[in-house]
Amino acid sequence: MNSLATFMDWLKTSQKTVVLTGAGMSTESGIPDFRSSSGWWKNIDPHTVATVTALENKYDLFHEFYSMRLTGLEQCQPHDGHYILADWEKRGFIHSIATQNVDGFHTKAGNKHVQELHGSIQTFRCHQCNESSTKEAFIQKETCQECGGVLRPNVVLFGEALPEESWTITLKNIQQADLVIVIGTSLEVYPVNQLPTMTKGKTVYINKDANPNAAYFDLIIEGKAKETLQHMQTLL
Ligand code: NAD
Ligand code: APR
């Protein structure tokens, strides 16, 4: 049986399917990923902007980077692939999504069971006292109304721990899954890159580029997220 036919068989027969997505899920919405040739980290050293050190010692650089990402995001919308995953959840083909993306597009497309393992760029807080804030206040570089601290998006930065509840829920889902579908991630970043090794189920890697990190997967489908999901949708 060819890879696609095998995938469709697994998808239809699986009792609990978990989808894990990365930045490659949103590049067809116009949002750059990180490590591809056109990715964010090709021109910016992530450790200079996406870390707590940057937030605390180079706030102007940190603010400029995340403001730029926010402005770019305003022009972008979930693509058909996001909506297909929402349809698959509605029809019972997938149980839940765990994402490293902070764009909120899985929820915006209609998925109800989404774990945002790297947080969200759509909500904001004071870095010192955790008081909630707003996108407008962050963009305007205001300080916290409660304590005067600096404002930040609720993105998990390098060196920070992941949201504990999201991680715990995701780990349970992955361990119980009989199919884990990984879409559009380089599997470069710990600890999310460990998740596919923690399931007893079958593992499928859908990615635009070949990736040695995925050598252990049961099935590898090379292709773009939106196009591949659209093709699969015609077979359901
Ligand atoms: P790390 O040093 O463990 O990085 C793991 C891998 O990612 C390494 O291969 C490293 O080369 C690469 N890497 C490190 N920082 C990067 C960055 N900013 N952009 C691209 N690649 C990067 O990273 P860490 O400081 O120990 O962070 C790990 C903790 O931070 C984990 O809990 C991780 O989930 C969390 N975290 C990281 C990111 C992120 O942007 N990668 C986002 C959310 C959460
Ligand atoms: N379809 C399928 N795969 C794609 C597409 C697409 N349209 N576009 C890009 N890809 C693939 C790339 O080939 C790459 O392997 O998606 C992967 C994206 O990998 P990264 O850019 O490393 O993004 P990600 O894995 O999500 O990064 C993890 O690193 O810096 C942090 O916080 C950031 O959460 C992110 C984490």
Instruction: Dihedral sign for Cα 151, 152, 158, 159, please.
Output: positive
Q: How confident is the model at residue 37 (pLDDT cuts 50, 70, 90)?
A: confident
Which residues are annotated binding-site positions? Answer: 126, 129, 144, 147
Range(s) of the chain covered by CATH 3.30.1600.10: 32-75+121-155
The string of pLDDT tens digits covering residues 60-111 is: 999 999 999 999 999 999 999 999 999 999 999 999 999 999 999 999 999 9
- CA 209 to centroid of ligand 2, rounded, Å: 10
Q: Chain-centre distance of CA 26, in angstroms?
A: 8
The ligand that comes nearest to the alpha carbon of residue 102 is: 2
Q: Residue 18: what pLDDT?
A: 98
118 is catalytic: yes
Amino acid letter, residue 10: W
Closest among 141, 154, 195 to 21, alpha carbons compared: 195
* CATH number of the structural domain 32-75+121-155: 3.30.1600.10
Contact 187, 102 (CB under 8 A): no
pTM over 0.80: yes
Q: How confident is the model at residue 46 (pLDDT cuts 50, 70, 90)?
A: confident
Q: How confident is the model at residue 42 (pLDDT cuts 50, 70, 90)?
A: confident
Range(s) of the chain covered by CATH 3.40.50.1220: 1-29+78-118+162-236
Overall fold of domain 1-29+78-118+162-236: Rossmann fold (3.40.50)
